[in-house]
Amino acid sequence: MNGKRWLGLVAGFLMVWAWPADAQVAKPRRAGDPKTVDLGGGVKLELVWCPPGTFTMGSPKSEQDAMAAAGLKKRWMDDETQHKVTLTKGFWLGKHEVTQRQWQSVMGKNPSRFKSAGLDAPVESVSWNDCQKFLRKLNAPAGHECRLPTEAEWEYACRAGTATAFHYGNDLDSTQANFNGDCPFENGRKGEYRRTTVKVGSFRPNAWGLYDMHGNVLEWCQDGHGAYPPGAVIDPAGARTGRRRVFRGGSWTYYARRCRSASRMSYVPSFSYQCLGFRVALAPVR
């Protein structure tokens, strides 16, 4: 074998040997992949990856009919018009609602009413404005780009590929989420009404590994509240005018029908209450 041919074989072998390492670097993210943000003092914030995609936002007529049969006023469903939404960028979203421990680690105090539920229960009694202060303080030292999720991001992540009333299906009872168990949805059985928040992660997560998207505490979103667009949209950011901010997901005190993936509520950004909390999103990858 001549020298040139020998050198060519050696070079080819080295390229093949090095390929697996290169392939690992280029491995694409998958829905539910984890990420951790260090808040200091041994406190961590866990997030999961939500990939780009398209979904149908809002509730179908069959779901609205079921709600009307359960006594929900029609005007409370008029703003759930179904429309196609495309999110062109993936984003990280908190695996859990922000806890009392995490809030206290960043802000130095705990505003929650339900302190007896423990530091691993969600923080509550925080306004949209309070959440912005938390996020600014969280972002400042480490250069993070944490924020509240948009309303479209929240529903997309909550559904995790489902089109039913809840990511569990079309029924909900208190073995699946923390809400007013006296008032389940569809074929869900009446159950426990706990009258308090509970430790995050106490119930089964959705397909992307997100916990408590239904119940426990309502979750503030970044958007101003407004009517949905009449057609398909790309990367919606909510209303640009108006006084109210959106919150999603229902809470410990609400009936199951208010915990649906499509359910929308809103109030002024200075409003706080014992059933209102949030989870953190990390800015989409550029």
In a domain, 14, yes or no: no
Supply the range of the domain harboring residue 148.
32-282
Residue 279 has pLDDT above 80, yes or no: yes
d(CA 169, CA 281): 25
In a domain, 153, yes or no: yes
| Mean per-residue pLDDT, 141-149 | 84
In a domain, 23, yes or no: no
Percentage of the chain modeled with pLDDT above 70: 87
| Mean per-residue pLDDT, 12-21 | 41
* CATH number of the domain that residue 240 is part of: 3.90.1580.10
In a domain, 1, yes or no: no
From the list 177, 185, 182, the residue with the least C-alpha distance to 69 is 185
Instruction: State the number of CA atoms in the 13 A half-sphere of 51 facing the CB.
Output: 11
Q: Given this model, what pLDDT does residue 77 score?
A: 66
Q: Given this model, what pLDDT does residue 286 score?
A: 46
In a domain, 10, yes or no: no
In a domain, 7, yes or no: no
Q: Given this model, what pLDDT does residue 200 score?
A: 98
Q: Given this model, what pLDDT does residue 178 score?
A: 98
Over the stretch 115-124, which tens digit does the pLDDT of each residue have? 999 999 999 9
The total number of structural domains that make up the chain = 1
Over the stretch 57-109, which tens digit does the pLDDT of each residue have? 999 998 988 887 777 666 666 789 999 999 999 999 999 999 999 999 999 99
Residue 247: phi and psi, rounded to 5, are -135, 155
In a domain, 181, yes or no: yes
Crossing angle for the helix pair 100-107 and 128-142, to the nearest 10 degrees: 60
d(CA 252, CA 159): 20
In a domain, 12, yes or no: no
pLDDT band at 141 (very low <50, low <70, confident <90, very high): confident
The structure's pTM equals: 0.89
Over the stretch 240-250, which tens digit does the pLDDT of each residue have? 788 999 999 99
Q: Given this model, what pLDDT does residue 7 score?
A: 45
